[in-house]
Amino acid sequence: MGQVLLVEDTPFFERVIKRQLTVSAGLDVISVPTRADAERVIADPAITLDVALVDLTLPDAPDGEIVDVTMAARLPTIVFPAGSTSGCATRCSQRAWSTIS
C-alpha cells in the first residue's frame, strides 16, 4: 500500500486521526494543514498516494476546494464535513464518486 494523505488544519484532530491510522491500522500517513501543502504533496512524483482524508473547510480552501484538488488528481477522497455549511457539503457530494450518508 502507498500512503494516506491527511489534510486537517486542527492540530488536535490531526494528531488523533494520524495516530489511529498509523498505530491502529498500520498505515503510512502524510499530514498537511492546507490546500497548498496538499497540492505540493500530490505533485511530488516520489510520493505514491492511495487515498486522501480531508477536512472540508481549510484556511486556504473554506468552501471545499480541497475536493477539487484531490479529484483532479484522481485520488480517492474521504471528506470530514464537520463545521462546513450544508451548501458546501452538498456541492462536494455532487462531485463525489460516491457518498456515505
Burial string for 37-66 (b: 16+ CB within 10 Å, else e) reads: bbbebbeeeeeebebbbbbbbbeebebbeb
**Cell matching residue 64:** 471545499
> Would you list the domain boundaries of the chain?
3-95
Whole-number pLDDT of residue 86: 56
Cell (9 digits) for 39: 497540492
> Which DSSP string do the residues of 52-76 spell out, in sequence order?
EEEES-BTTBTTSHHHHHHHHTT--
Q: pLDDT tens digits for 54-94?
A: 998 899 999 889 999 999 999 999 988 765 555 655 665 56
pLDDT-above-90 percentage for the chain: 68
Domain 3-95 sits in CATH at 3.40.50.2300
